[in-house]
Amino acid sequence: MIYKMTRRAALAGVASVAMIAAGATSALAEGWKPQKPIEMVIMAGQGGGADRLARLFQSIIQKENLASMPVLPVNKGGGSGAEALRYLKDSEGDAHKIMATLNSYYTTPLRTDIGVDIEEFTPIARMALDTFVLWVNADSDIQTLDDYVAAVKASGGEWKMGGTGTGQEDSLVTAMLEKEFDIKVTYVPFKGGGDVAKNLVGGHIDSTVNNPSEALGFYQAGKVRPIVAFTPNRIDVFPDTPTATELGHDIVYWMQRSFVAPKDMPAEAVAYYTEMFQKLSETEEWQTYTKDKALMADFLTGDELQAYFLEERNKHAAILADMEGDGSS
């Protein structure tokens, strides 16, 4: 409790300073307003990509004074987000809790029976879609997708593909690659995308499917080379990297960055948060960040978002079934 109080006090202090500085507060949603600090549950541990992004949102909300109450990020990363999903399920009707999601929002309930049906949750807003790119070390001879496939085949299954934990996004993209090109790689799981990128540069693994934000620094320093992007159109930051689609291979995969709320959140509260994220998506900070990090800002809310979630869940169920059918490691 002491911890919570000091933290709240500190944040409240910040918020009030910001309010005075801003003069008249912006009139967000006339009706309902949060009565206490808003808890932002994060489906991942501290320091990962999802956590960093959630904290970026928090700081923009605070800086631009988009909420009348402070936002408190809370990490519940246990069990690939199972902990967060269970927590949200147990918060039915709560108007002061929102959750930042990633793709484990679908895969975790599909892989382990945790008694959660994501259809029950209230969708708030999808902020962005993160992209995936196939990377090799810049010292490697591989320049094109054909080179890559040939090299993997020549290795006889010893090609080392690094990625995040088994069953998480990177391993799904790897499984899609294996299926499409009829290749077999040795998948080496690491704890986070940054760790994966470092091991590629250090020559401990042969390729990765990192998000651009994780490999961008090394790319700019000339240490890694993008081979192909798993997006429908070329990514602005890598204009010379072809997409798999344009090479005739239908592999497109996204990591969604969205916010959802507990079941039966009051409609006025849903409207409040939707508007809050709408304003957030229009801020200059967010626009710059998405451009720099090759994120696709793609704002979506309400029923459309729910439809998107359910469609994605079906897609993931199919990919997972494929992976398990192979009996691949």
Binding residues vs another protein (CB under 8 A): 1-4, 6-7, 10-11, 14, 17, 46-48, 51-52, 55-56, 58-59, 62-63, 73-74, 77-80, 82-83, 86, 111-112, 158, 160, 165-168, 186-191, 194-195, 197-199, 201-205, 216-218, 220-221, 223, 285, 288-289, 292, 329
Residue 273 or residue 289: which is nearer to another protein going by CB?
Answer: 289
* Smallest separation (angstroms) from another protein to the CB of 27: 23
Residue 98 or residue 270: which is nearer to another protein going by CB?
Answer: 98
Residues 253/176, Cβ–Cβ less than 8 Å: yes
Residues 121/260, Cβ–Cβ less than 8 Å: yes
Residue 152 or residue 244: which is nearer to another protein going by CB?
Answer: 152
Alpha-carbon distance of 208 to 215, in angstroms, equals 10
As a residue count, the chain comes to 329
Residues 68/33, Cβ–Cβ less than 8 Å: yes
Residue 79 or residue 302: which is nearer to another protein going by CB?
Answer: 79
Residue 70 or residue 123: which is nearer to another protein going by CB?
Answer: 70
Residue 52 or residue 234: which is nearer to another protein going by CB?
Answer: 52
Residues 158/185, Cβ–Cβ less than 8 Å: no
Cβ burial 41-79 (10 Å sphere, 16+ → b, else e): bbbbeeebbbbebbbebbebbbebbbbbbbbbbebbbeb
Residues in Cβ contact with 154 at an 8 Å cutoff, skipping those fewer than 6 apart: none
Residue that the structure tokens 């890694």 belong to = 224
* Smallest separation (angstroms) from another protein to the CB of 156: 10
* Smallest separation (angstroms) from another protein to the CB of 165: 5
Q: Which amino acid is at 257?
A: R
* Smallest separation (angstroms) from another protein to the CB of 277: 18
Residues 117/310, Cβ–Cβ less than 8 Å: no
* Smallest separation (angstroms) from another protein to the CB of 92: 17
* Smallest separation (angstroms) from another protein to the CB of 246: 29
Alpha-carbon distance of 287 to 295, in angstroms, equals 10
